[in-house]
Structure 1
Amino acid sequence: MCRWLAYSGSPVRLDDLLYKPANSLVIQSKNARMGAETTNGDGFGIGWYGTEPIPGLFHSTEPAWSDRNLRELSAQASADRVFAHIRATTGTPVQQTNCHPFRHGQWLWMHNGALADFHHVKRDLAMAVEPGLYPEIEGSTDSELFFYLALTFGLEDDPRAAVAEAVGFIEDAGRRHGVEHPVQMTVATTDGETTWAFRYSSEGNSRSLFCSSDITAIQAEHPDHPLVRNLSADTRLVVSEPLGDLRGAWQEIPDATCVVVRGGEQELYPFAPSPPVPAAV
């Protein structure tokens, strides 16, 4: 389906994240170890926070492993919060507007997984998006529509509750259309200060998700490793699969869990969909 990473911490050059790790995201674009598909070559995207309040975006429909512009950009640009995503389409077209991460104001969103039988439930989901938000939807993916449902349900005020309500709504719509397992997801979203990541599926067999361990412990274990020795103590990564094999560097996020990363702190919370509120009669 897809692979992604969410980084926060000291400013890091993008190629330190995308190219240099032993199992970098660019390597995963050709040979993912834990993904539903080995190859994720249907485009990629990067979102980062720089000098402006609105995050920057770079999207391409080229495979990440062969895009010269990505290599040039990542060798020069650095940021202290980065979202990166490589795409394996589940049926929607390969086009820039379908590449993650998606942006609304200061918010970014990316998704690995699928809303099952999306063509059957798409109309129900689209009709639930707040009318003022609907014109902002540019692409045709289930992932972007999922984002705008979460915004409709209050993502900017309470991300955990909004995503739970969006998932509950999607599951209800899916099951009304005979879909047995409507939601498969790992999702990350950020406002530039905090990152929320979710691992959940309706069938209880979710896509892989990991978070990095305390960076000071990793540095103590591997003091000479070039990719970790200069990182600040508040550095954190949430990833679809580990970027390397350093002992003690990664912890699997349990199924049905939300991880919240702010500064050097990360907290885990149980995650469950919220049942949809019945319409007033």
Structure 2
Amino acid sequence: MCRWAAYRGEPLYLEELVSSPAHSLIEQSHCATRAKTATNGDGFGIAWYGDRPDPGRYRDILPAWSDCNLKSLARQIRSPLFLAHVRAATHGGTRRDNCHPFVHGHWSFMHNGQISGFDHIRRAMESMLSDELFHARTGTTDSELLFLLALELGLDTDPLGAMEKAVAAAESLSLETSGEALVRFTAAFSNGRELYAVRYATDHRPPTLYAAPMGGKTGYCLVSEPLNDDVDTWIEIADGSAVKVCAEGAQVAVFAPRGERVETVRKSA
């Protein structure tokens, strides 16, 4: 399993999540406390938004704790919206193209989880893509393919609905192929304006997701693990939930790949 952190709010330096906190993302890369494996050393990546609509990105296959460039960049880059990820591989080899976040146009995406039996449904999922999105795929992970499938299914016009359809498609193909479906999906994605996150699993055992206010009245940080020991600050996002962070603050809704999405909570710092 991987670890990740994402932020939307008033501009701040990436180091506020990536390297400075006591339990920063770099610390989690070799000492995660709320994951099956403590070490996430199969690469890392950051994607951030600035003055242009498309995000900047830096990825490498080195463990995050051993890359001095990452700490230097995090200290210098200041952004109102960014995603950061440290990888523990489940599908796909250790290569730069398989490191998160994945980017296409103005969208960025990162994922923690897995699709069980992915090798048996990969070809069917690929066949659902247009030629443009099929050729945009450069890696071999289930995460990147889910991202591209969500783009195919309308991520630009209905981000959470498209992600529900993509996960539902993976579940349906798994059921058709093997008679069972196991999808564990805790992901963050952004179009450069809003930040979205999802926590969902078919077996109700999704990877962890926490949220805390940060960076102004409507800013929020979304993380796999809390960045410090202030337990009163961090809210655990429930299984089957989607979070949208926008100019109005954070909104939490039901994430139901096979049902209707209903907004349940609206929060603002």
Normalised by the shorter chain, which TM-score bucket? over 0.9
- Residues in 2 aligned to 1:242 and 1:194: alpha-carbon distance in whole angstroms: 21
- Residues in 1 aligned to 2:179 and 2:226: alpha-carbon distance in whole angstroms: 32
Select 1:241's aligned residue among 208, 213, 225. Answer: 225
1:102 and 2:86 are equivalent in the alignment = no
Please state how far the C-alpha of 1:50 moved relative to its aligned partner: 1.4
Q: Secondary structure at the match of 2:132?
A: coil
Specify the code of the residue in structure 1 equivalent to 2:3: R
- Residues in 1 aligned to 2:246 and 2:203: alpha-carbon distance in whole angstroms: 30
1:253 and 2:230 are equivalent in the alignment = no
1:262 and 2:246 are equivalent in the alignment = yes
1:41 corresponds in structure 2 to 41
- Residues in 2 aligned to 1:65 and 1:264: alpha-carbon distance in whole angstroms: 35
1:148 and 2:148 are equivalent in the alignment = yes
Q: Secondary structure at the match of 1:238?
A: strand
Specify the code of the residue in structure 2 equivalent to 1:20: S
- Residues in 1 aligned to 2:179 and 2:193: alpha-carbon distance in whole angstroms: 36
Please state how far the C-alpha of 1:247 moved relative to its aligned partner: 4.0
TM-score by length of 1: 0.89
In the TM superposition, what whole-angstrom CA distance separates every residue of 1:142-164 from its partner, at most 9, and x where no partner exists? 00000011011101110111011
Length, aligned pairs only: 259
Gaps of 5+ in 1: 216-230, 276-281
Cα distance, 1:166–1:86 mapped onto 2, change above 3 Å? same
1:139 and 2:123 are equivalent in the alignment = no
Q: What do you get for the CA RMSD once the two structures are aligned?
A: 1.3
- Residues in 2 aligned to 1:130 and 1:2: alpha-carbon distance in whole angstroms: 29
Please state how far the C-alpha of 1:264 moved relative to its aligned partner: 4.8
1:60 corresponds in structure 2 to 60
Task: Tell me if the contact between 2:172 and 2:181 (Cα under 8 Å) persists in the aligned partners.
Answer: no
Instruction: Pick the structure with greater CA Rg.
Output: 1
Task: Tell me if the contact between 1:83 and 1:101 (Cα under 8 Å) persists in the aligned partners.
Answer: yes
Q: After the TM superposition, which parts of structure 1 deviate over 3 Å for at least 4 consecutive aligned residues? A: none
Please state how far the C-alpha of 1:21 moved relative to its aligned partner: 0.8
Please state how far the C-alpha of 1:179 moved relative to its aligned partner: 5.5
- Residues in 2 aligned to 1:87 and 1:194: alpha-carbon distance in whole angstroms: 24
Please state how far the C-alpha of 1:36 moved relative to its aligned partner: 2.2
Gaps of 5+ in 2: 260-269
1:75 and 2:86 are equivalent in the alignment = no
Please state how far the C-alpha of 1:180 moved relative to its aligned partner: 2.6
Q: Which moved more, 1:54-63 or 1:266-275?
A: 266-275
Q: Which moved more, 1:246-255 or 1:21-30?
A: 246-255
